[in-house]
Amino acid sequence: MTRPLRQTIGAHYGWKDWLVQRVTAVVMILYTLGMLGVALYNGGFDYALWQALFANGAFRIATLLFGLAVLWHAWIGMRDIWMDYIKPTALRLALEVATFVVLVAYAAWLAQILWGTRQT
């Protein structure tokens, strides 16, 4: 059985990005409201609360999900901006690659903050 090749050109991949942009937006809205709720409930963040939050597994996973939503959302948004304004193909490709590399590095940085070793 031959698998159909993944479509990388044409008008077929846009709908997926359109949907991803909205799903990631909803994830970010929920996380923002959640953090706002935590802040209002506790009257702001002090160090003890901050430490307790980051020690909580559910908070870490929620924060990772939020972070990945931000980075994926930023990828689509920035790629759209480069596609709209940067006409020379080589320069546009370079900017897109740089954006992608930076975003993946940010994802690794976030994982390191959330699960890396830290001084106590």
Q: How far apart are CA 58 and CA 40, in angstroms?
A: 19
Residue 42 interacts with another protein (CB under 8 A): yes or no:
no
Using the rule CB under 8 A, give the single segment among 9-17, 87-95, 103-111 that binds another protein.
103-111
One of 47, 57, 87, 90 touching another protein (CB under 8 A): 47
Q: How far apart are CA 2 and CA 69, in angstroms?
A: 33
DSSP 62-114: HHHHHHHHHHHHHHHHHHHHHHHH--SHHHHHHHHHHHHHHHHHHHHHHHHHH
Contacts (CB under 8 A) with another protein, residues 22-41: 22, 25-26, 29, 32
Residue 52 interacts with another protein (CB under 8 A): yes or no:
no
Q: Which residues bind another protein (CB under 8 A)?
A: 22, 25-26, 29, 32, 47, 50-51, 54, 70-71, 74, 77-78, 81, 99, 106, 109-110, 113, 118-119
